[in-house]
Amino acid sequence: MTTDPSSSVAQARTELGNRLRQLRRAAGLTGKALAAATGQHFTRISRIEHGIQAPTEANIRDWCTACGAADEITELIATARSVESAYLEWARQARAGMRRLGDLHSIATYRRTTTFRIHEPTILPGIFQTESYLRRMLSFWYAFLDAPDDTEATIAMRAERTASALMPAKRIAVILGEQALRTRRGSPLEHADQLTHLQTLMRLPFVSVGVIPADAQRRAIASVGFWIFDDNAVALETPTAAIKVTRPQEIARYARLFDELRREARYGREAHDVISRIRDRPQR
C-alpha cells in the first residue's frame, strides 16, 4: 500500500473512473453515446474513466442520470470529494502554524458534531489532554515538522475546541488502548494528574470511555487511532499526513469497527480500576 499522498490520490481517481465506466457499460452506452447524453466531448469521458481528469459533481449527476443509476449519485460525489481532499501533508500545512493543522479537527467541526466516536490505542484524545500533556506533544511536533512555534495560540485554540466538544447536548464515546494510559509524557506527577483529569471527565453523563486491557483476548484489528464525526467523516493521522474519509460506505465500515472494539473494552468500575492501578503504581 502506497504512503505517498499524490500517488494515493491518483489511485483513488483511477478507481473512481473505473466505477463510472462500469455504470456506463451496465447501461449499454458507448463513450460517444454518453457524451452526447451529457453534453460533453467523448474524449472527456475517456479521460475521466482512465483517471486522467477528475469529474465535477455536475458530471457525476449527469453521468448517473444518463445511466439510470441515480441512486449512485450521493456515494460517487462523496468519493470524488474525498479523492482531492483526503490527504493533507503535515509539513506543508504546518508552515502556517500547528493551530491550523487538521481539516476535521477544527473548532467549527467540533461545534457542529453531535456524536464523537473515538478510538486511540496509544495516545489520549486531545479533548482529554491536560495542558502539560499537550505542551509535551507539541514540543515534539514543532521540531519534527520544522513548524513555526505558535504554542500559546495553539493551546488557546485547542482549549476552545475542547470546550465546544464537552457540552451536555453532545455524546462522546471513546475507546482507549491500555498503552494510551501507560505512555507517560512528562514527569510522574504530571502523568498522575493527567489520569486523574481523565477520570474526572469520564464521570460526565455524556462521556463514555472504555479501556481495552493489554492482555485482553482480541478479535478486532485496529492499529491506528480514528475519529468518527457523526456519520459525516472519519479522521486518521499518520506521522506525515492527515487522512479524511467521507465516502458513506467507508464511514460505515469504521462504525462497524468501532462497535467491534467496544465489545472488547471494559467500562465503568472496571475501566476506572485499570486507570487507578496505572496512576497509583510506584514511579521509577
Q: Is 252 exposed, middle or buried (0-12, 13-18, 19+ CB in 10 A)?
A: exposed
Q: How many CB atoms lie within 10 A of CB 235?
A: 19
- Average the pLDDT over 150-155 and give the result: 90
Which CATH number is 5-85 given?
A: 1.10.260.40
Nearest partner of 237 among 75, 121, 64, judged by Cα? 121
In single-letter form, the type of residue at position 95 comes to R
pLDDT band at residue 1 using 50, 70 and 90 as cut-offs: very low
pLDDT value of position 243:
79
pLDDT value of position 4:
41
Q: pLDDT (tens digit, 9 = 90+) per residue, 160-219?
A: 999 999 999 999 999 999 999 999 998 999 999 999 999 999 999 999 999 999 999 889
In single-letter form, the type of residue at position 139 comes to S
Mean pLDDT (the chain) is: 87
- Average the pLDDT over 34-46 and give the result: 92
| 3-state class (DSSP) for residue 218 | coil
The answer to whether 211 and 264 are in contact (CB under 8 A) is no
Nearest partner of 79 among 177, 12, 147, 29, judged by Cα? 12
Q: How far apart (Å, rounded) are the C-alpha atoms in residues 172 and 230? A: 10
Q: How far apart (Å, rounded) are the C-alpha atoms in residues 69 and 63? A: 8
CATH fold of 87-280 reads Endonuclease; Chain A (3.30.870)
pLDDT beyond 80 at 284 = no
**Residue 224 backbone zone (phi > 0: left; psi -120 to 50: alpha; other: beta):** beta
- Side by side, the strands of the sheet bearing 241-245 are 87-89, 241-245, 233-237, 226-229, 115-120, 171-177, 207-212
What residue spans define the domains of the chain? 5-85, 87-280
Nearest partner of 84 among 2, 8, 153, 148, judged by Cα? 8
